[in-house]
Structure 1
Amino acid sequence: MAGRVFSNLSAILNVWKKDRSTVKKKQNKRMQTKETCPVGLLKNSVVKVFFASRDYNRTRPWETHTKRCTGTGFAISGKRILTNAHVVELLNEHTSVHVKKRGSTIIYKAKVQKIAHECDLAILEIDSQEFWKGMNPLELGGIPPLKKAVIALGYSRGNKLLITKGHVTSFETKQYLHSDTELLRIQIDATIKNGNSGGPVILENKVVGVVYEGSQTQSFLIPTSIVKRFRTGAEESDQQAVFCSLGLSYQSIKNAQIRNHFKMSSKMTGILINKINLWSGAYGILKKNDIILAIDGVPISNDATVPFWGNKRISFNYLISMKKPGETSLIKVLRRGKEHEYIINLKPVKPHVKVQQYYKRPSYYIFGGFVFVSKSDISKCEQQVVISEILADDINQGYESFKDLQVEKVNKVKVKNLRHLSELIEENHIQDLTMDLEDDKVLVLNY
């Protein structure tokens, strides 16, 4: 009896040892998988970006303050780091950019090689062989499918690299931070905090987007199609803008009455041109009240969208924005009831707020306590001039509410730019100096 019991215990012990061995093997396999996980390997290519610069007060340009911030970047081909333009936006003689590798205490000096505010991207160079040891460039993938799970990598706080999971929820075209044109962006349902800007979003070991904006419930990515276009443009040209725009304002024509007014057939769809900018490649070719029916053979719907993926639709601007400056588009329009086709030479995006403001002290002019600055840079000769600040003085008492208004005319003469405004004021020989402001407001100074 005892022998049989011992025999049974021995058998149980052998089974237990075998099971334990199997469990250990599985645990070791899981640990090995975790350690050699592709995402784990990608972490070493993600860096923390440190930025410091002296910023000029936009309303009181003679005042400055030091701006400091941190962001995220990652290695791309050619021993370069990709990050957001807004992370390193203030490029002047006081700018300082540094990067730090994951798990390291060494901070390396970086230089901004290329920056494009219209797509919020920048490329950094680090002149150090030591820095690039163990750093592998991340591979750029394509546009991720809807509802697909993705992983965002970034340094939100401190020196720890955080992993945030989310899902792709939508695609849309929107204006980026410093741009006046619409570019494609991807939305994910992940909470991305400050410091993550410029970090990669990963799907199947490839980068599918760059974080540039976020909130408590959602975050937005720059798709790799934009990244690739920016990178190619940086390698091919020194020009600031690498994206295109038709340079016109328009309205959707979903109302049947307006479509009938412009003699559109029941099968026609499109958008109505309201205005064409002087710098547009379409200026002098397309006209106000033309109906754009199609671009490069792609029909535009009455809500100004075109097909994207499956049953998804996005703004027609996507068709233009991804082309290179100098390329052409075939525009089909309806004009006075007749269809026409025109080849338009595309021109680069013109940012509304001049890019130079991120590089040097802004120009200003003070008269009667009013501080005048240029708001835009349509061309070297044409600027919008606004009252950025009103310094308290008896001469401007009662005009406190005129701050931020554009100056349209001085003594009935249209203001061309900031220098022109100063000349009109300095050369005034009549007792009352009159300024016509926006919203039909009038400013009169007697001096």
Structure 2
Amino acid sequence: MLMRRGCAIAVWLVLAAGASVAQVLPADDTILPAVVRIDVYVDPPDLLSPWQKAGVEHVTGAGILVGRGAVLTAAHVVADAVSIEVQSAFSAERSVAEVAYIGHECDLALLRLEDPRFLAEVEPVPIGATPAPGTELRIYGFPIGGESVSYSSGIVSRVQVGTYVHSAEDLLLVQTDAPVNPGNSGGPAIASGRLAGIAMQTLEDAENIGYLVPAAVIRHFLDDVSDGRYDGFPRLGVRLQDLGSPALREYLGMPPGTSGGLVIRVDDGGPADEVLRPGDVLLSIGGRPLANDLTVDLPGIGRVDWSAAVRSRQIGEPIELEWLRGGERRRARIELTPHRPLVPGRHTAEVPRYFVFGGILFQPLSYEYLRDYFEDPPAELELWATDRNVVTPDRHELIIIQQVLPDPVNRGYQDWADLVVETVNGVRPRDLDALAELVDTATGEWLAIEVGDGRRMVLPLAEARAARERILRNFGLDDDRSPDLRRRSPGPADRPNAPADRGDRRKPRRAGSAGEAGPRGPAGTGA
């Protein structure tokens, strides 16, 4: 759906050109004036060399006017944008735009038009309800093969919780058989004259299976930013196992006719921490009974994965939980505080977080890194991104040695890459900030790092500190850490900023056999 010029298109966001042909627009179309083409120049970060950018690319997508001077589109169309122009479907007139709010989780962005006169006479399109299966849709956009606006028609096949490729988040989505082609990203899906969804992705190697951000998620996003800030979608911070086994239900002491889900993991610091425990049976969420197959019935939506009952709320809202513990029913009202998983879908700061010491490049692992740089991700990292993706008291980020920048001080380790950091001088770093502090304040002769497979890397501490300037100079770094990381003594003083080579040093995707896009989901389900 995202059309890139001069570069390969991520297969998960694009449906290969097929037999479907965009239809000619009827003369009496009332939605057309609110449809816009979006031309974007992006300069994304290079996660392999996070101190620099990957290089400028041109991408195109579509959008829809939802308010005076406000255009809604897909987040992946305008992510990392350095220039945005919006063009009317009716004329060659253009307006510069900027991102007012972006929700990477839900793949939505709200653009603010710079010229108040642009589209001033056009009526914004009202937001409707999430369309039910069988609903007829019309999807507008600027697909590959032409420059003018067009539309494709189809019906809603199903409404379910599924993975958003842009963020690896599991949210409500709509599946449709209406063709969604390169250039349709961000385009509106219209049902009965109202906005029913935003085109975002397709199913790889399948014909005419496209996915939309549904109206319910659009409303959540717009309600969220109405206070001038994007907070995101809450999560409970637990993982559940289904209770389809009668033997397991009897073993847990569940009364006949009772249904629910077995709590198998609880994130440290999450909203449910200190309320739920592994071994509890969660019975209801927000007053909605939880079925043994881990689904709930949502009004206007139907039966979907239980996580939708949590993620349909706003961060900061209360939610009621009911559960069994040792055969006793318990209830609590908790606040849905902000919480992110151990391995997030995307890098969590505007500048990707990193730390370099002795040429060792440390980074928090993200799904984005696995998706964009591997055809077949390392098994251990894929496991951490799925089944082991649980926050614990001693681990709030999963820190990896992403690569080693060759230098005499790190001889013997220069082929080490994509390894989980277990300990630094015998201490497990809770997150990247803690790792930087362990290194900055280290004393003695050696710095010893143990990785996930049991191997150890040992650097001479004084020599590694002395090599800092040489390594920064040789690899074009301004600093040995991202701007968010503080420096602590007895590490060296900050080096004055120096010009760095910001040219395109993007490295090829790491070798591996062709495989599915991104990590597979875990056996249990979490939110």
Whole-angstrom CA distance in 2 between matches of 1:338 and 1:63: 56
| Residues 140/248 of structure 1: CA separation in 2 closer, same or farther (3 Å cut) | same
| Residues 306/396 of structure 1: CA separation in 2 closer, same or farther (3 Å cut) | farther
CA shift, 1:171, in A, is 1.1
Structure 2 SS opposite 1:353: coil
CA shift, 1:229, in A, is 1.7
CA shift, 1:317, in A, is 1.3
Q: Which amino acid aligns with 1:182?
A: D
| Residues 280/179 of structure 1: CA separation in 2 closer, same or farther (3 Å cut) | farther
Q: Flag the structure with higher helix content.
A: 1
Structure 2 SS opposite 1:331: strand
| Residues 354/179 of structure 1: CA separation in 2 closer, same or farther (3 Å cut) | closer
Deviations 1:327-362 (A, max 9, x none): 2222110100111111122224536538665623x2
Where does residue 149 of structure 2 map in the other structure?
161
User: Alignment partner for residue 40 of structure 2, among 21, 29, 51?
Assistant: 51
Structure 2 SS opposite 1:131: coil
Where does residue 416 of structure 1 map in the other structure?
430
Where does residue 191 of structure 1 map in the other structure?
179
Deviations 1:206-258 (A, max 9, x none): 111111112443100111111112112211352432x3221212211222232
Structure 1 SS opposite 2:315: coil
Where does residue 208 of structure 1 map in the other structure?
196
CA shift, 1:432, in A, is 5.2
Does the aligned pair in 2 maintain the 1:118–1:177 contact within 8 Å?
A: no
Whole-angstrom CA distance in 1 between matches of 2:334 and 2:437: 39
Q: How does 1:21-420 map to 2 (within 5 A)?
A: 34-36=26-28, 40-64=29-53, 65-90=55-80, 95-157=82-144, 158-179=146-167, 181-215=169-203, 216-241=207-232, 243-308=233-298, 313-348=303-338, 350=340, 352-353=343-344, 357=348, 359-360=350-351, 362-375=352-365, 382-392=396-406, 395-397=410-412, 400=415, 402-420=416-434
Where does residue 499 of structure 2 map in the other structure?
none
Whole-angstrom CA distance in 2 between matches of 1:204 and 1:348: 36
Whole-angstrom CA distance in 2 between matches of 1:306 and 1:148: 22
CA shift, 1:319, in A, is 1.3
Structure 2 SS opposite 1:339: strand
Where does residue 26 of structure 1 map in the other structure?
none
| Residues 253/437 of structure 1: CA separation in 2 closer, same or farther (3 Å cut) | farther
* TM, length-normalised to structure 1: 0.82
Number of residue pairs the alignment of both structures matches: 404
Whole-angstrom CA distance in 2 between matches of 1:347 and 1:190: 38
| Residues 296/427 of structure 1: CA separation in 2 closer, same or farther (3 Å cut) | closer
Q: Which amino acid aligns with 1:211?
A: A
Percent identity over paired residues: 26
Whole-angstrom CA distance in 2 between matches of 1:358 and 1:285: 30
CA shift, 1:393, in A, is 5.3
| Residues 189/444 of structure 1: CA separation in 2 closer, same or farther (3 Å cut) | same
Does the aligned pair in 1 maintain the 2:406–2:414 contact within 8 Å?
A: no
Does the aligned pair in 1 maintain the 2:163–2:170 contact within 8 Å?
A: yes
Does the aligned pair in 2 maintain the 1:276–1:288 contact within 8 Å?
A: yes
Structure 1 SS opposite 2:450: strand
Where does residue 8 of structure 1 map in the other structure?
none
| Runs of 5+ unmatched residues, structure 1 | 1-32
Whole-angstrom CA distance in 2 between matches of 1:271 and 1:427: 45
CA shift, 1:67, in A, is 3.1
Whole-angstrom CA distance in 1 between matches of 2:301 and 2:196: 21
CA shift, 1:310, in A, is 9.5
* TM, length-normalised to structure 2: 0.70
Whole-angstrom CA distance in 2 between matches of 1:396 and 1:313: 57
Where does residue 448 of structure 2 map in the other structure?
434
CA shift, 1:73, in A, is 0.5
Where does residue 445 of structure 1 map in the other structure?
458
Where does residue 27 of structure 1 map in the other structure?
none
| Residues 406/99 of structure 1: CA separation in 2 closer, same or farther (3 Å cut) | same
Does the aligned pair in 2 maintain the 1:147–1:168 contact within 8 Å?
A: yes
Of stretches 429-438 and 335-344 in structure 1, the one that deviates more from structure 2 is 429-438
CA shift, 1:55, in A, is 1.9
Q: Which amino acid aligns with 2:239?
A: S
Whole-angstrom CA distance in 1 between matches of 2:69 and 2:443: 62
Does the aligned pair in 2 maintain the 1:98–1:108 contact within 8 Å?
A: yes
Q: Which amino acid aligns with 1:231?
A: L
| Residues 138/219 of structure 1: CA separation in 2 closer, same or farther (3 Å cut) | same
